[in-house]
Amino acid sequence: MLTKRLIACFDIVGGNVTKAVQFQDNIHVGPAAQLAQTLYDAQIDELIFYDITASNERRGIDIATVKEVAKCVFVPFTVGGGIKTLDDMYEALKAGAEKISVDSMAVRNPQIIEQGAKAFGSQCVVLSTQVKRTPTMPSGYEVYIDGARLATGLDAMEWLKQGQELGAGEICLNSIDCDGTLAGYDLELMKLAEQVVRVPLIASGGAGKPEHLRDVFTQTQAQAAIISSMLYSPRMARNYSVHELKDYLLQQGVNVRRYA
């Protein structure tokens, strides 16, 4: 049985982690490197880092902050935001990332997925996708880009299939509707995705209590889940430790990596 992974996701602005609700009203949390060290010490399984304003501002990723965070963590580390070319991917990997996330630029230039997979291997390319419920779409979900600011007219499931065919080795699927709400993951979305792709799926958007993790791992085929708000959001009545979450999941029969 594959081990389920708990992933902390950093939304980065100016070297700092922020938290938002449905991509709006960001609240400052703290310096990225400091929080990364704390979560690594707490034995988080993985870390994803998004420079959330890079694409909208048409600039490259914050390489300085990537380097600072990479010095603090020795678990799989994915970075994204402002990745436009193979050179950008290479620079991020050289700075300490193990995987590259592509999102807005992949929609604008899908071949970047194929180019990255050929150059660095599919295991290095994560397709991150922001989707929103849209009744006019065949699947009921539409892809958004530029920090969920711009609707693309792309059906979410068709885009996931295309991304997989181009070589994405993993897909991080974020529900804009659920993002930051603490009301739970969009299980319907995850079930649709698992019917059309065979690469590992990361569930994102909505986790607010341990039961939400249990549900996504037992009711869908998600192999990993993002738990940012639960760990450090100022909006939470209380934050959870990685140990608390893993203890709960183990008690529920979910196979997670035990901590030392």
HEC letters along 99-111: EEEECHHHHHCCH
End-to-end Cα spacing for the chain: 20
Looking up tokens 């738990």 gives: 227
> Is the predicted pLDDT of residue 75 greater than 60, yes or no?
yes
Least confident residue range of 101-105, 110-114, 216-220: 101-105
**Regarding beta strands 5-13 and 46-51, do their DSSP bridges make them parallel or antiparallel, or are they unpaired?**
parallel
Query: What does the pLDDT read at residue 23?
Result: 55
Higher-pLDDT residue of 94, 57: 94
CA-to-CA separations, 120 to 69, 94, 98, 200, 244, in angstroms, rounded: 21, 12, 10, 18, 36
- Amino acid 229: pLDDT: 86
Give pLDDT, residue 1.
67
Percent of the chain with pLDDT over 70: 97
Number of DSSP helices (H) and strands (E) in the chain, helices first: 10, 12
Mean pLDDT over each residue of the chain, to the nearest integer:
93
pLDDT at 22 over 60: no
Instruction: Compute the distance between CA of residue 164 and CA of residue 167 in angstroms, rounded to an integer.
Output: 5
CB of 229 closer than 8 Å to CB of 235: yes
Section 91-114 average pLDDT = 96
Q: Which residue has the tokens 């939470």?
A: 236
Dihedral in degrees, nearest 10, Cα atoms 171, 95, 83, 100 = -10
Which pair of structure tokens corresponds to residue 93? 């990997």
Q: Is 174 exposed, middle or buried (0-12, 13-18, 19+ CB in 10 A)?
A: buried
- Over residues 168-210, the pLDDT tens digits come to 999 999 999 998 889 999 999 999 999 999 999 999 999 999 9
Most confident of 70-74, 144-148, 228-232: 70-74
* Contact in structure between 160 and 173 (CB atoms under 8 Å): yes
Which amino acid, 143?
Answer: V
Residue 18 amino acid letter: T
pLDDT for position 237? 75
Choice among 13-27, 37-51, 120-134, 242-256 with the minimum mean pLDDT: 13-27
